[in-house]
Amino acid sequence: MDVINVDYDGMIPNNVGLNQDIRVRKALEKWHPGYLDWWQDMGPEGFQQSLVYLRTAVSVDPKGWAKFDYVRMPEYKWGILLAPQVEDRKVPFGIHRGEKAWQEVPGEHRAMLRRLIVIQGDTEPASVEQQRHLGKTAPSLYDMRNLFQVNVEEGRHLWAMVYLLQKYFGADGRDEAEALLQRRSGDPDTPRMLGAFNEKTPDWLSFFMFTTFTDRDGKMQLEALAQSGFDPLSRTCRFMLTEEAHHMFVGETGVTRIVERTCQAMRDAGIDDPYDIDTVRRLGVIDLPTVQKKANLHFSLSLDLFGSEISTNAANAFHAGVKGRFREERIKDDHQLEGGTYPVLRLVDGEIAQQDVPALSALNMRLRDDYVTDCNAVAGRWNRAIEAFNVPFQFKLPHVAFHRHIGEFAEIKADPDGNNLGDAEWQKRQGEFLPSDSDRDYIEGLMQPQYEPGQFAGWISPPKVGIDNKPGDFEYVKMA
């Protein structure tokens, strides 16, 4: 078996030797039609017959893993790709630290591993479902192509988790793989598992915020799972991270382009005050305070995805060697955390206070802290784009207590600075911090499609470079 180049002979491209693994191949071939039905029902609405200039993974070699070509989405080659095996890999943390990494699921950690793989798997189709209407309002063919690229790759990430379930978890795994095709984002009876994946992605600013903040949670969770002592999970997540980078690029640069367009329009019209919202909106661009509100919403929803600050689940997963920390190998400690402490923000007598708690129970908080650092760097880059236009406005990520539904701060109603407002004050003022109905209506009104090659909707700037270095007027999507 060639672990670098992908076998394209069978129905399912893979570098895991599926042709020799008849049981798993048959199970996946049986799952495939249900997946395609799901894609037709819940994948991008319209455009299924359009030719989209997509990248497909053809290798797991970091130097040249993808090829670009026109593809109809239902014919995309969703494959199963694992990063190459690291010879003699050891469990990097927890009670089993230093033992040989597991090639099979250890019986005592089976339920925990299955739960983590199912949760990870559930988010992938959920995001496709959330984004399925957006093609109809794409601000350009370039953006439409990026949306569909993200969608097909999230579909591939579902395949990646389903492979693990089918290969390593027997009948339970098969049932879970089926259930992943049954749940639906936002459905009151059969919702997706995590909160943020049941929210709407109603417009393109939301899409860019989602790919900035929620895909970045994906990055952190995948990094933590890539450390796993269960080697197939580690290898799967390592390769998924390669694709995830583009999703975050789409999000961050999407917001940058919106911000630049707004600043440019303000400059051209001689408007200095970014808070003069009505005047800015008359230019047909998205005012910066509204962009901030969307950031507040998507950042806070994404913080919930880290679970509770103090978590026995997370402690157990680390202790067992199943889920590690962000860049575990770069951390200088005993990698077992039996004695240490970690500072956690908590709600103590109604006040937000920092407390040292056992490090093992604070792992969700720690991963979230690493995430917040990463997000602050993004906000810094957006601010530099604003500074280039001398517009007096700076984005600021809200306090971690703001608008939370999970963990220490779920009970309080804090403003973006972390002041507890109480219910009545929050009801009165939430429209200052989160998109209001009129903000949403305004943005929705802007969402008119622009399908001419090289043309962009008036509220967003063109990108600096094309995908795969294509010229500005490249036809990224050929409509059917």
Task: Output the smallest distance, CB 271 to ligand BYC, in A.
Answer: 35
Contact residue for ligand BYC among 6, 83, 141, 194 (CB under 6 A): 194
Determine the Cα angle at 16 with ends 26 and 175, to 5°.
45
Which residue, 71 or 194, is less far from ligand BYC as judged by CB? 194
Task: Output the smallest distance, CB 272 to ligand BYC, in A.
Answer: 37
* Contacts (Cβ under 8 Å, ≥6 apart) of 145: 52, 53, 54, 467, 476, 477
Contact residue for ligand BYC among 201, 214, 290, 361 (CB under 6 A): 214
Contact residue for ligand BYC among 16, 60, 158, 314 (CB under 6 A): 314
Binding segment for ligand BYC (CB under 6 A), chosen from 7-15, 18-26, 303-311, 462-470, is 303-311
How far apart are the C-alpha atoms of 217 and 400, rounded to whole Å?
A: 14
Kindly state whether residue 218 participates in binding ligand BYC, applying the rule CB under 6 A: yes
Which residue, 260 or 309, is less far from ligand BYC as judged by CB? 309
In the structure, how many helices (H) and strands (E) does the chain have? 13, 5
Contact residue for ligand BYC among 149, 300, 311, 461 (CB under 6 A): 311
Kindly state whether residue 316 participates in binding ligand BYC, applying the rule CB under 6 A: no
| Nearest CA among 474, 443, 464, 468 for reference residue 140 | 474
Is 293 in contact with 439 (CB distance < 8 Å)? yes
Per CB under 6 A, contacts with ligand BYC among 247-276 are none
Secondary structure class of 376 (helix, strand, coil): helix
How far apart are the C-alpha atoms of 196 and 394, rounded to whole Å?
A: 26
Which residue, 119 or 179, is less far from ligand BYC as judged by CB? 119
| Nearest CA among 301, 321, 315 for reference residue 229 | 321
Binding segment for ligand BYC (CB under 6 A), chosen from 67-75, 301-309, 354-362, 423-431, is 301-309
Contact residue for ligand BYC among 48, 313, 336, 420 (CB under 6 A): 313
Contact residue for ligand BYC among 154, 231, 252, 260 (CB under 6 A): 154
Is 165 in contact with 118 (CB distance < 8 Å)? yes
How far apart are the C-alpha atoms of 101 and 234, rounded to whole Å?
A: 10
Contact residue for ligand BYC among 153, 176, 199, 217 (CB under 6 A): 217
Residue nearest to ligand BYC (CB): 307
The 103-142 contact track toward ligand BYC, x by CB under 6 A, reads -------------x--xx--xx--x---------------
Which residue, 254 or 307, is less far from ligand BYC as judged by CB? 307
| Nearest CA among 406, 385, 405 for reference residue 394 | 385
Residue at 407: amino acid letter: G
Task: Output the smallest distance, CB 194 to ligand BYC, in A.
Answer: 4
| Nearest CA among 369, 366, 362 for reference residue 313 | 362
Contact residue for ligand BYC among 212, 221, 236, 296 (CB under 6 A): 221
Task: Output the smallest distance, CB 247 to ligand BYC, in A.
Answer: 7
* Count of residues making up the chain: 480
Write the CA distances from 261 to 217, 373, 457, 459, integer angstroms.
27, 27, 10, 6
Which residue, 160 or 265, is less far from ligand BYC as judged by CB? 160
| Nearest CA among 363, 395, 362 for reference residue 376 | 395
Binding segment for ligand BYC (CB under 6 A), chosen from 209-217, 393-401, 462-470, 472-480, is 209-217
Kindly state whether residue 303 participates in binding ligand BYC, applying the rule CB under 6 A: no
Kindly state whether residue 308 participates in binding ligand BYC, applying the rule CB under 6 A: yes
Binding segment for ligand BYC (CB under 6 A), chosen from 43-51, 175-183, 214-222, 413-421, is 214-222
Contact residue for ligand BYC among 93, 142, 208, 306 (CB under 6 A): 306
Number of Cβ atoms within 10 Å of the Cβ of 61: 11
- Both tokens assigned to 50: 């359009």
| Nearest CA among 147, 152, 140, 129 for reference residue 66 | 152
Kindly state whether residue 195 participates in binding ligand BYC, applying the rule CB under 6 A: yes
Residue 80 burial class via C-beta count within 10 angstroms: exposed 0-12, middle 13-18, buried 19 and up: buried
Which residue, 215 or 415, is less far from ligand BYC as judged by CB? 215
Residue 473 burial class via C-beta count within 10 angstroms: exposed 0-12, middle 13-18, buried 19 and up: exposed
Between β-strands 351-358 and 341-348, what pairing exists: parallel, antiparallel or unpaired? Answer: antiparallel
H-helix segments, 99-230? 110-130, 141-168, 170-182, 204-209, 215-226
Task: Output the smallest distance, CB 296 to ligand BYC, in A.
Answer: 17
Say which DSSP state 214 is in.
Answer: I
Binding segment for ligand BYC (CB under 6 A), chosen from 211-219, 328-336, 411-419, 427-435, is 211-219
Contact residue for ligand BYC among 112, 233, 297, 406 (CB under 6 A): 406
Kindly state whether residue 307 participates in binding ligand BYC, applying the rule CB under 6 A: yes
Q: What is the dihedral of CA 251, 253, 254, 256, to 10 degrees?
A: 120
How far apart are the C-alpha atoms of 33 and 231, rounded to whole Å?
A: 29
# residues contacting ligand BYC (CB under 6 A): 25
Per CB under 6 A, contacts with ligand BYC among 345-374 are 364
Residues found near ligand BYC in the complex (CB under 6 A) = 116, 119-120, 123-124, 127, 154, 194-195, 214-215, 217-218, 221, 304-308, 311, 313-314, 323, 364, 406
